[in-house]
Structure 1
Amino acid sequence: MKAKAIRAFGKVDIVVNNAAIAPIGSVEKLSVDYWERSYSVNLREPVLLAQAFLSDMIKRAYGVFVCVTSSGLNYMGAYETFKAAQSHLADTLDAELEGTGVFAFSIAPGLALTPGAKHGVSFLAPLYGMSEEDFYEANKEHIVLVEVAGAGFAAAIAQAKRFAGQEIIFLQVLSAAGIKVGDMGDHHA
Protein backbone atom coordinates (compact mmCIF):
# COMPACT_ATOMS: atom_id res chain seq x y z
CA MET A 1 0.00 0.00 0.00
CA LYS A 2 2.78 2.44 0.87
CA ALA A 3 4.56 1.96 -2.46
CA LYS A 4 1.29 2.37 -4.38
CA ALA A 5 0.46 5.59 -2.50
CA ILE A 6 3.93 7.04 -3.09
CA ARG A 7 3.79 6.14 -6.80
CA ALA A 8 0.42 7.87 -7.08
CA PHE A 9 1.09 10.96 -4.94
CA GLY A 10 4.86 11.24 -4.52
CA LYS A 11 4.56 11.34 -0.73
CA VAL A 12 1.99 10.79 1.99
CA ASP A 13 1.33 13.70 4.34
CA ILE A 14 -1.93 12.50 5.88
CA VAL A 15 -3.09 9.08 7.04
CA VAL A 16 -6.73 8.68 8.07
CA ASN A 17 -7.50 5.33 9.65
CA ASN A 18 -11.11 4.94 8.55
CA ALA A 19 -11.27 1.34 7.38
CA ALA A 20 -13.29 -0.71 9.80
CA ILE A 21 -15.38 -3.78 10.34
CA ALA A 22 -18.17 -3.66 12.89
CA PRO A 23 -19.24 -7.07 14.16
CA ILE A 24 -22.61 -6.85 15.87
CA GLY A 25 -23.66 -9.04 18.77
CA SER A 26 -23.44 -9.33 22.51
CA VAL A 27 -20.07 -9.82 24.17
CA GLU A 28 -21.46 -13.03 25.64
CA LYS A 29 -22.39 -14.58 22.29
CA LEU A 30 -20.19 -13.05 19.58
CA SER A 31 -17.53 -15.56 18.55
CA VAL A 32 -13.87 -14.93 19.25
CA ASP A 33 -13.28 -15.15 15.49
CA TYR A 34 -15.22 -11.89 15.06
CA TRP A 35 -13.22 -10.30 17.87
CA GLU A 36 -9.96 -11.37 16.19
CA ARG A 37 -11.04 -10.01 12.79
CA SER A 38 -12.09 -6.75 14.42
CA TYR A 39 -8.74 -6.51 16.20
CA SER A 40 -6.93 -7.13 12.91
CA VAL A 41 -8.74 -4.38 11.00
CA ASN A 42 -9.61 -1.90 13.74
CA LEU A 43 -6.33 -1.88 15.69
CA ARG A 44 -3.58 -3.92 14.04
CA GLU A 45 -3.93 -2.16 10.67
CA PRO A 46 -3.65 1.36 12.17
CA VAL A 47 -0.45 0.25 13.92
CA LEU A 48 0.89 -1.09 10.62
CA LEU A 49 -0.02 2.17 8.89
CA ALA A 50 1.83 4.13 11.57
CA GLN A 51 4.87 1.93 11.13
CA ALA A 52 4.72 2.30 7.34
CA PHE A 53 4.22 6.06 7.03
CA LEU A 54 5.42 7.92 10.13
CA SER A 55 9.15 7.67 9.49
CA ASP A 56 8.83 9.52 6.16
CA MET A 57 6.61 12.16 7.78
CA ILE A 58 9.15 12.64 10.56
CA LYS A 59 11.96 13.05 7.99
CA ARG A 60 9.95 15.82 6.28
CA ALA A 61 8.91 17.30 9.67
CA TYR A 62 5.31 17.33 8.49
CA GLY A 63 2.39 14.96 8.69
CA VAL A 64 -0.96 14.13 10.23
CA PHE A 65 -2.05 10.73 11.54
CA VAL A 66 -5.77 10.47 12.27
CA CYS A 67 -7.68 7.68 13.98
CA VAL A 68 -11.45 7.60 13.48
CA THR A 69 -13.08 6.71 16.77
CA SER A 70 -16.54 5.92 18.04
CA SER A 71 -18.42 5.93 21.32
CA GLY A 72 -19.60 2.75 23.00
CA LEU A 73 -22.85 1.12 22.00
CA ASN A 74 -24.25 -2.07 23.36
CA TYR A 75 -24.02 -5.03 20.98
CA MET A 76 -21.01 -3.43 19.30
CA GLY A 77 -18.29 -4.32 21.80
CA ALA A 78 -16.06 -6.04 19.24
CA TYR A 79 -16.01 -2.79 17.26
CA GLU A 80 -16.09 -0.17 20.00
CA THR A 81 -13.31 -1.77 22.05
CA PHE A 82 -10.78 -1.42 19.25
CA LYS A 83 -12.01 2.03 18.21
CA ALA A 84 -11.36 3.14 21.81
CA ALA A 85 -7.90 1.57 21.50
CA GLN A 86 -7.32 3.71 18.39
CA SER A 87 -7.91 6.82 20.51
CA HIS A 88 -5.21 5.63 22.89
CA LEU A 89 -2.96 4.82 19.95
CA ALA A 90 -3.37 8.39 18.65
CA ASP A 91 -2.61 9.80 22.12
CA THR A 92 0.51 7.65 22.42
CA LEU A 93 1.69 8.55 18.93
CA ASP A 94 1.18 12.25 19.50
CA ALA A 95 3.30 12.12 22.65
CA GLU A 96 6.01 10.15 20.84
CA LEU A 97 5.89 12.59 17.90
CA GLU A 98 6.23 15.74 20.01
CA GLY A 99 8.56 18.24 18.37
CA THR A 100 8.70 16.39 15.03
CA GLY A 101 6.13 18.43 13.09
CA VAL A 102 3.91 15.35 12.86
CA PHE A 103 0.63 15.34 14.76
CA ALA A 104 -1.82 12.62 15.75
CA PHE A 105 -5.37 12.81 17.06
CA SER A 106 -8.62 10.89 16.96
CA ILE A 107 -11.95 12.16 15.69
CA ALA A 108 -15.52 10.89 15.95
CA PRO A 109 -17.77 11.43 12.93
CA GLY A 110 -21.09 11.00 14.69
CA LEU A 111 -23.67 8.72 13.11
CA ALA A 112 -22.82 9.41 9.48
CA LEU A 113 -25.06 7.30 7.31
CA THR A 114 -22.48 5.55 5.21
CA PRO A 115 -23.46 2.31 3.48
CA GLY A 116 -21.69 0.43 6.28
CA ALA A 117 -23.60 2.29 8.99
CA LYS A 118 -26.92 1.66 7.25
CA HIS A 119 -26.08 -2.03 6.97
CA GLY A 120 -25.16 -2.13 10.66
CA VAL A 121 -28.43 -0.45 11.67
CA SER A 122 -30.35 -3.23 9.92
CA PHE A 123 -28.80 -5.70 12.39
CA LEU A 124 -28.59 -3.42 15.42
CA ALA A 125 -32.16 -2.09 15.48
CA PRO A 126 -33.79 -5.51 16.15
CA LEU A 127 -31.36 -6.09 19.03
CA TYR A 128 -32.73 -2.87 20.56
CA GLY A 129 -36.28 -4.10 19.96
CA MET A 130 -36.84 -1.50 17.23
CA SER A 131 -37.56 -1.33 13.55
CA GLU A 132 -34.98 0.46 11.42
CA GLU A 133 -37.38 3.39 11.08
CA ASP A 134 -37.79 3.57 14.88
CA PHE A 135 -34.01 3.44 15.32
CA TYR A 136 -33.50 6.34 12.91
CA GLU A 137 -36.28 8.34 14.58
CA ALA A 138 -34.83 7.74 18.07
CA ASN A 139 -31.38 8.83 16.87
CA LYS A 140 -32.33 11.62 14.45
CA GLU A 141 -30.45 14.27 16.43
CA HIS A 142 -27.23 12.23 16.09
CA ILE A 143 -27.46 11.40 12.39
CA VAL A 144 -25.39 13.62 10.11
CA LEU A 145 -24.72 13.84 6.41
CA VAL A 146 -21.47 12.21 5.40
CA GLU A 147 -20.41 15.47 3.73
CA VAL A 148 -20.84 17.43 6.97
CA ALA A 149 -18.80 14.90 8.94
CA GLY A 150 -16.19 15.05 6.16
CA ALA A 151 -16.02 18.83 6.46
CA GLY A 152 -15.21 18.34 10.14
CA PHE A 153 -12.46 15.88 9.27
CA ALA A 154 -10.94 18.29 6.72
CA ALA A 155 -11.05 21.16 9.21
CA ALA A 156 -9.41 18.99 11.88
CA ILE A 157 -6.60 17.96 9.56
CA ALA A 158 -6.04 21.60 8.55
CA GLN A 159 -5.77 22.45 12.27
CA ALA A 160 -3.88 19.30 13.30
CA LYS A 161 -1.46 21.15 15.57
CA ARG A 162 -4.40 22.59 17.55
CA PHE A 163 -6.08 19.20 18.03
CA ALA A 164 -2.95 17.07 18.48
CA GLY A 165 -3.25 14.43 21.15
CA GLN A 166 -6.99 14.94 21.59
CA GLU A 167 -10.09 12.88 20.97
CA ILE A 168 -12.45 15.26 19.22
CA ILE A 169 -15.89 15.29 17.63
CA PHE A 170 -16.37 16.67 14.13
CA LEU A 171 -18.90 19.28 15.37
CA GLN A 172 -16.36 20.58 17.89
CA VAL A 173 -13.89 21.12 15.06
CA LEU A 174 -16.37 22.93 12.83
CA SER A 175 -17.34 25.17 15.73
CA ALA A 176 -13.68 25.95 16.48
CA ALA A 177 -13.24 26.87 12.81
CA GLY A 178 -16.15 29.28 13.07
CA ILE A 179 -18.39 27.11 10.90
CA LYS A 180 -21.93 26.76 12.13
CA VAL A 181 -23.44 23.49 11.00
CA GLY A 182 -26.72 25.30 10.40
CA ASP A 183 -24.86 27.43 7.84
CA MET A 184 -24.22 24.26 5.85
CA GLY A 185 -27.91 23.59 5.34
CA ASP A 186 -29.68 20.69 6.97
CA HIS A 187 -26.87 18.58 8.41
CA HIS A 188 -29.10 15.68 9.36
CA ALA A 189 -29.50 12.88 6.90
Structure 2
Amino acid sequence: MDTAAEQNLQARRNAFHDTLFKEDDLGLVIRGHIHVENELIEFIKIRLSPPNAVDALSLGYKEKCKLAKVLGMPRALQAPLSYAGNLRNKFAHNLGVTIGKQEADSFNIALKEHGIEYFQEAYHRIYPTSTKRLNFWNAHDFEPKNRIVISLILLWSGLAVANIEARAGKRILGERSTAPLAPGEPQNI
Protein backbone atom coordinates (compact mmCIF):
# COMPACT_ATOMS: atom_id res chain seq x y z
CA MET A 1 0.00 0.00 0.00
CA ASP A 2 1.19 3.46 -0.85
CA THR A 3 -0.07 5.87 1.77
CA ALA A 4 -0.58 5.99 5.49
CA ALA A 5 -4.35 6.31 4.87
CA GLU A 6 -4.34 3.09 2.81
CA GLN A 7 -2.34 1.30 5.49
CA ASN A 8 -4.78 2.54 8.14
CA LEU A 9 -7.70 1.31 6.05
CA GLN A 10 -6.07 -2.11 5.67
CA ALA A 11 -5.45 -2.32 9.43
CA ARG A 12 -9.09 -1.40 10.18
CA ARG A 13 -10.32 -3.92 7.59
CA ASN A 14 -8.14 -6.68 9.09
CA ALA A 15 -9.37 -5.95 12.63
CA PHE A 16 -12.95 -5.99 11.36
CA HIS A 17 -12.42 -9.40 9.71
CA ASP A 18 -10.84 -10.81 12.86
CA THR A 19 -14.04 -9.86 14.68
CA LEU A 20 -16.40 -11.31 12.09
CA PHE A 21 -14.80 -14.67 11.68
CA LYS A 22 -13.96 -15.51 15.31
CA GLU A 23 -17.25 -14.83 17.06
CA ASP A 24 -20.47 -16.56 18.04
CA ASP A 25 -23.74 -14.87 16.99
CA LEU A 26 -23.75 -12.41 19.89
CA GLY A 27 -20.10 -11.42 19.41
CA LEU A 28 -20.52 -11.17 15.65
CA VAL A 29 -23.44 -8.76 15.89
CA ILE A 30 -22.15 -6.67 18.80
CA ARG A 31 -18.50 -6.43 17.79
CA GLY A 32 -19.33 -6.13 14.08
CA HIS A 33 -21.61 -3.23 14.96
CA ILE A 34 -18.84 -1.56 16.97
CA HIS A 35 -16.67 -1.52 13.83
CA VAL A 36 -19.54 -0.14 11.76
CA GLU A 37 -20.24 2.56 14.36
CA ASN A 38 -16.56 3.55 14.44
CA GLU A 39 -16.67 4.13 10.66
CA LEU A 40 -19.86 6.18 11.14
CA ILE A 41 -18.13 8.32 13.79
CA GLU A 42 -15.15 8.75 11.46
CA PHE A 43 -17.50 10.08 8.74
CA ILE A 44 -18.98 12.60 11.19
CA LYS A 45 -15.53 13.73 12.34
CA ILE A 46 -14.37 14.21 8.76
CA ARG A 47 -17.39 16.39 7.98
CA LEU A 48 -17.48 18.39 11.24
CA SER A 49 -15.35 21.36 12.13
CA PRO A 50 -13.73 20.93 14.56
CA PRO A 51 -13.66 17.14 14.09
CA ASN A 52 -13.80 16.31 17.80
CA ALA A 53 -17.01 18.30 18.29
CA VAL A 54 -18.91 15.02 18.04
CA ASP A 55 -17.24 13.81 21.25
CA ALA A 56 -18.70 16.74 23.20
CA LEU A 57 -22.23 16.00 21.95
CA SER A 58 -22.61 12.61 23.72
CA LEU A 59 -24.86 11.29 20.97
CA GLY A 60 -26.50 7.88 20.92
CA TYR A 61 -26.33 5.70 17.81
CA LYS A 62 -29.62 6.93 16.30
CA GLU A 63 -28.56 10.54 16.77
CA LYS A 64 -25.19 9.82 15.14
CA CYS A 65 -27.04 8.36 12.15
CA LYS A 66 -29.25 11.46 11.92
CA LEU A 67 -26.23 13.76 12.17
CA ALA A 68 -24.39 11.79 9.49
CA LYS A 69 -27.42 12.15 7.21
CA VAL A 70 -27.42 15.93 7.68
CA LEU A 71 -23.68 15.97 6.99
CA GLY A 72 -24.13 14.21 3.65
CA MET A 73 -24.14 10.50 4.40
CA PRO A 74 -25.20 8.69 1.23
CA ARG A 75 -28.82 7.58 1.13
CA ALA A 76 -27.71 4.00 0.42
CA LEU A 77 -26.17 3.76 3.91
CA GLN A 78 -29.10 5.09 5.90
CA ALA A 79 -31.47 2.07 5.99
CA PRO A 80 -28.71 -0.52 6.63
CA LEU A 81 -27.22 1.64 9.40
CA SER A 82 -30.64 1.78 11.03
CA TYR A 83 -31.13 -1.96 10.68
CA ALA A 84 -27.65 -2.70 12.05
CA GLY A 85 -28.51 -0.63 15.13
CA ASN A 86 -31.81 -2.44 15.61
CA LEU A 87 -30.11 -5.82 15.24
CA ARG A 88 -27.43 -4.82 17.75
CA ASN A 89 -30.14 -3.77 20.23
CA LYS A 90 -31.99 -7.06 19.77
CA PHE A 91 -28.84 -8.98 20.69
CA ALA A 92 -27.74 -6.60 23.44
CA HIS A 93 -31.04 -6.65 25.33
CA ASN A 94 -32.36 -10.20 24.93
CA LEU A 95 -31.01 -13.51 26.20
CA GLY A 96 -30.65 -16.44 23.84
CA VAL A 97 -31.09 -14.56 20.57
CA THR A 98 -29.54 -16.19 17.53
CA ILE A 99 -29.09 -15.14 13.93
CA GLY A 100 -31.90 -16.57 11.85
CA LYS A 101 -33.28 -16.30 8.34
CA GLN A 102 -35.46 -13.30 9.28
CA GLU A 103 -32.47 -11.25 10.48
CA ALA A 104 -30.45 -12.10 7.37
CA ASP A 105 -33.40 -11.33 5.05
CA SER A 106 -34.11 -8.01 6.79
CA PHE A 107 -30.48 -6.88 6.60
CA ASN A 108 -30.39 -7.81 2.91
CA ILE A 109 -33.58 -5.81 2.25
CA ALA A 110 -32.12 -2.78 4.04
CA LEU A 111 -28.97 -2.95 1.92
CA LYS A 112 -30.98 -3.28 -1.30
CA GLU A 113 -33.35 -0.40 -0.49
CA HIS A 114 -31.25 2.29 -2.16
CA GLY A 115 -27.89 0.70 -2.64
CA ILE A 116 -27.27 -2.37 -4.78
CA GLU A 117 -24.86 -0.53 -7.08
CA TYR A 118 -23.42 1.53 -4.22
CA PHE A 119 -22.47 -1.51 -2.15
CA GLN A 120 -21.18 -3.50 -5.12
CA GLU A 121 -18.87 -0.63 -6.07
CA ALA A 122 -17.84 0.04 -2.47
CA TYR A 123 -16.96 -3.61 -1.88
CA HIS A 124 -14.74 -3.76 -4.95
CA ARG A 125 -13.01 -0.50 -4.00
CA ILE A 126 -12.23 -1.77 -0.52
CA TYR A 127 -11.34 -5.27 -1.74
CA PRO A 128 -9.59 -4.46 -5.03
CA THR A 129 -7.79 -7.81 -5.20
CA SER A 130 -11.06 -9.73 -5.13
CA THR A 131 -11.19 -11.48 -8.49
CA LYS A 132 -14.78 -12.62 -8.16
CA ARG A 133 -17.69 -10.35 -8.97
CA LEU A 134 -19.94 -11.88 -6.36
CA ASN A 135 -23.68 -11.51 -6.52
CA PHE A 136 -24.35 -10.76 -2.87
CA TRP A 137 -28.05 -10.25 -3.48
CA ASN A 138 -28.81 -13.88 -4.33
CA ALA A 139 -27.12 -15.48 -1.32
CA HIS A 140 -30.32 -17.00 0.09
CA ASP A 141 -28.73 -20.47 0.12
CA PHE A 142 -26.05 -19.34 2.57
CA GLU A 143 -26.44 -19.93 6.28
CA PRO A 144 -28.04 -16.88 7.99
CA LYS A 145 -24.86 -16.17 10.00
CA ASN A 146 -22.80 -16.04 6.79
CA ARG A 147 -25.37 -13.72 5.23
CA ILE A 148 -25.06 -11.38 8.24
CA VAL A 149 -21.26 -11.44 7.80
CA ILE A 150 -21.70 -10.50 4.12
CA SER A 151 -24.13 -7.71 5.07
CA LEU A 152 -21.76 -6.30 7.68
CA ILE A 153 -18.87 -6.41 5.21
CA LEU A 154 -20.93 -4.58 2.58
CA LEU A 155 -22.09 -1.95 5.09
CA TRP A 156 -18.58 -1.46 6.48
CA SER A 157 -17.20 -1.17 2.92
CA GLY A 158 -19.82 1.45 2.08
CA LEU A 159 -18.89 3.47 5.15
CA ALA A 160 -15.16 3.15 4.44
CA VAL A 161 -15.69 4.47 0.89
CA ALA A 162 -17.89 7.30 2.21
CA ASN A 163 -15.01 8.24 4.52
CA ILE A 164 -12.44 8.13 1.72
CA GLU A 165 -14.63 10.33 -0.48
CA ALA A 166 -15.50 12.74 2.33
CA ARG A 167 -11.83 13.08 3.26
CA ALA A 168 -11.04 13.90 -0.38
CA GLY A 169 -13.88 16.45 -0.48
CA LYS A 170 -15.69 14.54 -3.22
CA ARG A 171 -19.29 13.59 -3.66
CA ILE A 172 -19.61 10.04 -2.45
CA LEU A 173 -19.74 7.43 -5.23
CA GLY A 174 -21.33 9.95 -7.56
CA GLU A 175 -24.40 10.49 -5.37
CA ARG A 176 -25.86 13.88 -4.75
CA SER A 177 -25.25 14.60 -1.11
CA THR A 178 -27.96 15.96 1.18
CA ALA A 179 -25.58 18.63 2.47
CA PRO A 180 -23.38 21.04 0.51
CA LEU A 181 -19.66 20.44 0.72
CA ALA A 182 -17.02 22.74 -0.69
CA PRO A 183 -13.96 20.78 -1.88
CA GLY A 184 -11.69 20.06 1.05
CA GLU A 185 -13.88 21.77 3.62
CA PRO A 186 -15.67 20.02 6.47
CA GLN A 187 -19.31 20.89 7.08
CA ASN A 188 -19.78 23.27 10.02
CA ILE A 189 -22.83 22.90 12.24
Q: Answer yes or no: same fold by TM over 0.5.
A: no
Q: Rg bigger for which structure?
A: 1
Structure with more helix by fraction = 2
TM-score, normalization by structure 2: 0.28
